[in-house]
Amino acid sequence: MENKLLPILLPVRSVKFLFVFLAGALITETDVERLGRWWSIIAVVVNILTIMLLVYVAHKSNLTFGQLINYQRGATGWTSVLLITLIILFIGMAGMYLAGFLCYNNFLYAPSVIIAPIPKWIAIINILLLPISTVFAEDGLYLGCGVNQIKNKYTAILVPAFFYAFQHCFIPFLVDGRYILYRFLSFLPLTIILCAYYYKRRNPVPVMIGHAVIDLATAIQILATSLIPGLYETMCGI
């Protein structure tokens, strides 16, 4: 069931992340860069709030969350899941390499803050919470409220893909124009591919599983730097 108002929600995560980092810096009387290492915890909180919002707006549109994202039980084969997961990993890495070259003249550039250590018990919980909450929040928003609700093919792909990538400029947020551009360009090729695939297939499961694998890999890196003394400094020096 189409609801023309739902695409209005597409910028909501970018606004939430920007607000949290700026408000957090103001409340703690520090700069946003120092809050960066806590980005995964902030992301889980924003994810939960986003999921709650999606459930609410789906209910108001006489839909379940599953209907919002067009989930159909038994419609997914493991071949498509494996293929899309491999494509997501390849395009995701390629996007970061290309963005690193364009913005920093370095294919291997990666912001170290993404894998900065956090308290061990939180890093362990993050292994589950970060991937699961992220796929339901992000794919629910950009695929369910974006791709599913916009009639024009190219608009339905490009507009959600833009905001899908744009939100990463604020996860974590740094007051640095080149970093913001790097984050946007890193994810844009992948988000276009994901939205185009979903527009054609209308099956969220392969996208969500592949997406979860990427976030799980990030959560594992955070866990490793949190558990192993000196690993973060070593990785930053590579």
End-to-end CA distance of the chain: 50
- Rounded CA separation 162/53 (Å): 21
- Please name which of 125, 120, 126, 119 lies closest in space to residue 40, comparing C-alpha atoms: 126
Q: What is the pLDDT of residues 167-217, one digit of tens each?
A: 999 999 999 999 999 999 999 999 999 999 999 999 999 999 999 999 999
**d(C-alpha 144, C-alpha 194), whole Å:** 13
Work out the pLDDT band at 2, boundaries 50, 70, 90.
low
d(C-alpha 134, C-alpha 137), whole Å: 5
Residues 6+ apart with CB under 8 A from 147: 156, 157, 160, 195, 198, 199
User: Which helix (H) or strand (E) covers residue 171, if one does?
Assistant: none
Per-residue pLDDT at 1 exceeds 60: no
Rounded mean pLDDT of 28-38? 89
Taking the CA atoms of 53, 8, 84 and 187 in sequence, report the sign of the dihedral they define: negative
Decide: 43 and 134 in contact? Cβ < 8 Å. yes
* pLDDT at site 235: 79
Q: Which residues contact 36 (CB under 8 A, 6 or more apart)?
A: 113, 116, 172, 173, 174
Beta bridge partners of 173: 170
- Tell me if 113 sits within 8 A of 36, measured CB to CB: yes
Would the pLDDT of 229 be above 90?
A: no
pLDDT digits (tens, 9 = 90+) for 59-88: 999 999 999 999 998 888 899 999 999 999
Task: Give pLDDT, residue 238.
Answer: 61
pLDDT band at 130; cut points 50, 70, 90: very high
pTM: 0.94
Higher pLDDT, 122 or 7: 122
Q: Are residues 193 and 166 in contact, defined by beta-carbon separation less than 8 angstroms? A: no
What 3-state class would DSSP assign to 150?
Answer: coil
Query: Which of the two residues, 229 and 46, has the higher pLDDT score?
Result: 46
Distance CA 66, CA 58 (A): 9
Residue 31 has pLDDT above 90, yes or no: no
**So where are the chain's domains?**
6-61+78-236
| pLDDT higher than 90, residue 30 | no
